[in-house]
A and B are shown apart, each in its own frame.
Chain A
């Protein structure tokens, strides 16, 4: 483990984890951009068979770069990557990757695009067409299947890219922000697809900001900050490492000067914008106090939403930084 502050271990304990050897492993991997900025600095990470690993961190933490290194798009400046064989014994490409770029053969249909990539990965035409049809149905893309990709919306392009990464049922699936641009039904469908991939022994590694979904989906969450892995563990381990933290999101009539808020012990101002976000280590019981703080500053509260602060609070406690900042 490395990082500015202490946190749970990034790697599972081999004595307590019955899974087999890692399918993918990064050992002390470093990478710098051409500008000299460190994108990754001595990162250790591994993914085991049947595991869903989520990479969580603010923009620029190095999540996408790490996925691109694992996908072979980039080569590390230092350290070592251990990846599955390029093709499985069945002749299928072992990796599926959906990155930031959503480029397709624009003049061709979504089906043709997806079948092409599935066949390139080693499926027969019949297998590819069946797998693509099934995933189009599940992700809600069936109605768009025969249209040229040039007519697709952002969300439809995202779904197509995910199908292209998943149709050949890869051993290692690398996904960069897979839930961005998806509607609620498609998010659920994708989560089910990833669970199935995991249940079949596949390893899924994804970068995501979707903190509501990750605790239910991921087997392990790894926090990245400033190009380093700073913490990691199962969602339960991470969440139980924190006291009960509640987050209050206040939508106000008019505004309030956040500098005038007088916060008691254990309460912090997370966001002074609209909505104003406060967090308290005393849990939901601190709501009346939060309301009093705002009222004392002259605020008129229109709506208040109460949440468990969850992973964002864990990240803040480990790094001292905001997850979305």
Chain B
């Protein structure tokens, strides 16, 4: 079977141009005052990291739960698309769309930080890998929850915990337990790349992020169709 879900998601995105424009404008409006203000680099990087990660997790989980509640997901899976294929194609399209929608905000953040092209490109790559992971986190959140409200709550909790584990909200303490966790956390690379745009500090979380990209694909493929949440096709009514 060809990538019909990927094609479907792009067709839906182009049919909803107004939503696309809103999804570009809102991050821009949130980033603009921080980038153009006098916020310290560590604070600005934390704001951007939270915004980008939550944007992707929510943007993946909420529509998926909505489509599950309406019966669309069950219809697509019943029609012949396997759960793993459906979630991964949908996530791939969602991640690329997220990069397109968050890219302008990242560019504004880079201009505000006075970053050159190289730190910006590093941050853009980190953003692309991070939204891929965050979108897959959203799929698993959707699979583990039973309503839009639960999905919103769990998306926020999981994303904020992962951001915290990635060192976004704390001052690094070398060789501490927190530092050990941070070294393998998924959003560390994005945070470091955002900091690097201002401070020119090294970006070291790339390898961990790469592993997360693969681990989350496997986790989504294995768990996506089996968790007893809103995506479960067979269940009581």
- Chain A residues within CB distance 8 Å of chain B: 33-34, 65, 68, 71-75, 86-87, 93, 95, 97, 99, 101, 103-105, 107-108, 112, 116-117, 119-122, 148, 164
Contact = CB atoms under 8 A, between A and B. Distances in A.
Contacts of A120: 1, 4, 76, 79-81
B5 to A, nearest CB: 8
B78 A73 contact: yes
Contacts of A72: 78, 233-234
Interface stretch (B7-15, B109-117, B153-161): B7-15
A233 B74 CA distance: 33
Contact of A103 (B1, B8, B71): B71
B235 interface: yes
Nearest to B8: A116
A33 B237 contact: yes
A105 B78 contact: no
Contact of A74 (B75, B79, B237): B237
Contact of A148 (B1, B2, B15, B75): B15
A116 B9 CA distance: 11
Interface of B: 1-2, 4, 8, 11-12, 15-16, 70-72, 74-76, 78-81, 233-237
Nearest to A75: B234
12 contacts: A34-B236, A68-B237, A72-B78, A73-B78, A73-B234, A74-B234, A74-B235, A103-B71, A104-B72, A105-B12, A108-B8, A119-B2
A93 B79 contact: yes
Contacts of B76: 117, 120
A122 B80 contact: yes
Given A95-B78, A105-B12, A119 B71 contact: no
Contact of A116 (B4, B16, B233): B4
B15 A33 contact: no
A122 B1 contact: yes
B79 A121 contact: yes
Given A73-B234, A119-B1, A108 B80 contact: no
B78 A71 contact: yes
A68 to B, nearest CB: 8
Give the top 7 A-B pairs by smallest Cβ distance, nearest first: A120-B79, A93-B80, A101-B71, A107-B15, A103-B70, A120-B80, A103-B71
A87 B74 CA distance: 17
Contacts of B233: 72-73
A230 B75 CA distance: 31
B236 A105 contact: no
A33 B236 contact: yes
B15 A108 contact: yes
A107 B81 contact: no
Contact of B78 (A33, A65, A97, A119): A97
Given A120-B80, A121-B79, A122-B1, A105 B8 contact: yes
Given A74-B237, A117-B79, A121-B80, A105 B4 contact: no
